[in-house]
Amino acid sequence: MYKYKISVIIPTWNRCNLLRATLQNICNQTLPPYEIIVVDDNSTDGTLEMLRTEFAEKVICMSNPKRGPGAARNAGLKISTGDFIKFFDSDDVMSLNTLEVQVKKMIDTGKPYITGPYFYAYEKESKWIPTDDIIINYYDLPSNISLTHWMIWGLFITIPSMLFRKEFIDKIGDWPEDMITSEDWAYLWRIAMIEPFPAHTNDCAFIYRVHKYQSTGKNLNNEKRDREKFKVLDEIYKRDIEKGKFSCFEKLLFRNKFYQIANVTDDMLFRKLLLERAGRFQFLMWQYIRIKMKFGRIRSKTDWQPMHRVIKDKLIVDNYIELCYGK
C-alpha cells in the first residue's frame, strides 16, 4: 500500500487549535505519510482529548512530559517505523505535494536528505496572509561550497523544510534535550558535518506560521537563549572547528559569534567569558561582517542575505498558498 514509508514526527505543547490545522494538512498530503507521531509535552489545553477524538485512527500519540522539544523528537523517532523521516512543528503547514515531491527528488538524486523553501504567514479568517511575500531558501546553494561554510557565516535552514532517510538520521544521533532554543542549530550542524551538500527542490514549500504562542523569540528569556546558544557554539568549536579542516578565516569568523553574544548580554561575568572565547581582532571582524551584511541586503533587495537564497514574488507565494489548500 505504501511505496514510500514516511514517518512525520511532531512535538507539541499547548497548541491544540494550531495542531489541528497542522494534522489536517499532513493527512491531506498527495502522498500520505505512513505514520504521524505526535509527542505531547504535558499539554493542559485539551490537546490529548482532541487527538483521541478527532485523529484516533490517523495519529500515534504519546506523552513525554516536561522534557522539551528535543526529547520529544527523540522519543518519536524511537518508535517510528518509516524509511523516511519528517520532523515537523505543531503550528506550521506545508503545500500538499510536499511529501510526494521531496521523496521523489531524494530517490532521483540519491541524497540522504533534501531542503526546500518556506515563507512567513499568519492565518486570518481561515486564509493565509503572507507577511512580506519573501520566500527563503527558494534557490539551491552552490554545489561547490559546503553547508558548514554557510552556517559559519550565519545561515540556518529550518528543519521542517527537510526530509531525511532514516538510515541517515541514525548517523546523526539524538537531538539535544537540555535546551529549547538552539537545539535545531546544533542538530543542523551535525547534519552538515556528515553531508554538506543536500538535495533541494522548490516545487513545494512550507508556511512558517506567525502567531502569539510561539515558543521562541519574545516569549523567551534573553539570558537563557544566549546561554543556550553559547553552549551549542562552544561545544561545536571545541569538537569540530578548532582542530578541524576549516580555514583560519572560518575559525576567526566562527569565534565572532561569541563576540556578538557578548555585545547583547547584561551579565558581566558571562560577557567576560564570551570575549575570552572570541579572542583577538573580533571588533574589526564584526565591522567587516556588518559592512558585508549591508551590501548583502542591497544585493538581495530584502533584509535577508544572498546566502539565504531568497526571492520576493507575490505570485509564487500565492501559488504555494493555493497548494496548501489543495487547489
Contacts of 259 (CB under 8 A, 6+ apart): 274, 275, 278, 282, 283, 285, 286
Indicate whether 246 belongs to any domain. Answer: yes
Indicate whether 314 belongs to any domain. Answer: yes
pLDDT tens track, the chain, 327 positions: 568 999 999 999 999 999 999 999 999 999 999 999 999 988 889 999 999 999 999 999 998 877 788 999 999 999 999 999 999 999 999 999 999 999 999 999 999 999 999 999 999 988 999 999 999 999 999 999 999 999 999 999 999 999 999 999 999 999 999 888 899 999 999 999 999 999 999 999 999 999 876 655 454 578 889 999 999 999 999 999 999 999 999 999 999 999 999 999 999 999 999 999 999 999 999 999 999 999 999 999 999 999 999 999 999 999 999 999 865
- Give the Cα separation of 197 and 94 in Å (integer): 23
If one counts the domains in the chain, the total is: 1
Q: Which structural domain range is residue 215 located in?
A: 92-327
Indicate whether 61 belongs to any domain. Answer: no
Q: For the whole model, what pTM was predicted? A: 0.94
Residue 190's Cα: distance from chain center in Å? 13
Indicate whether 8 belongs to any domain. Answer: no
Q: What's residue 268's pLDDT? A: 96
Indicate whether 39 belongs to any domain. Answer: no
At residue 231, what is the residue type? Answer: K
Contacts of 56 (CB under 8 A, 6+ apart): none
Q: What's residue 313's pLDDT? A: 97
Indicate whether 289 belongs to any domain. Answer: yes
Indicate whether 250 belongs to any domain. Answer: yes
Q: What's residue 214's pLDDT? A: 62
Indicate whether 224 belongs to any domain. Answer: yes
SS (H, E, C) the chain: CCCCCEEEEEEECCCHHHHHHHHHHHHCCCCCCCEEEEEECCCCCCHHHHHHHHCCCCCEEEECCCCHHHHHHHHHHHHCCCCEEEECCCCCEECCCHHHHHHHHHHHHCCCEEECCEEEEEEECCEEEECCCEEECCCCCCCCCCHHHHHHHCCCCCHHHCEEEHHHHHHHCCCCCCCCCCHHHHHHHHHHHHCCCCEECCCCCEEEECCCCCCCHHHCCHHHHHHHHHHHHHHHHHHHHCCCCCCHHHHHHHHHHHHHHHCCCCCHHHHHHHHHHHCCCHHHHHHHHHHHHHHHHHHHCCCCCHHHCCEECHHHHHHHHHHHHCC
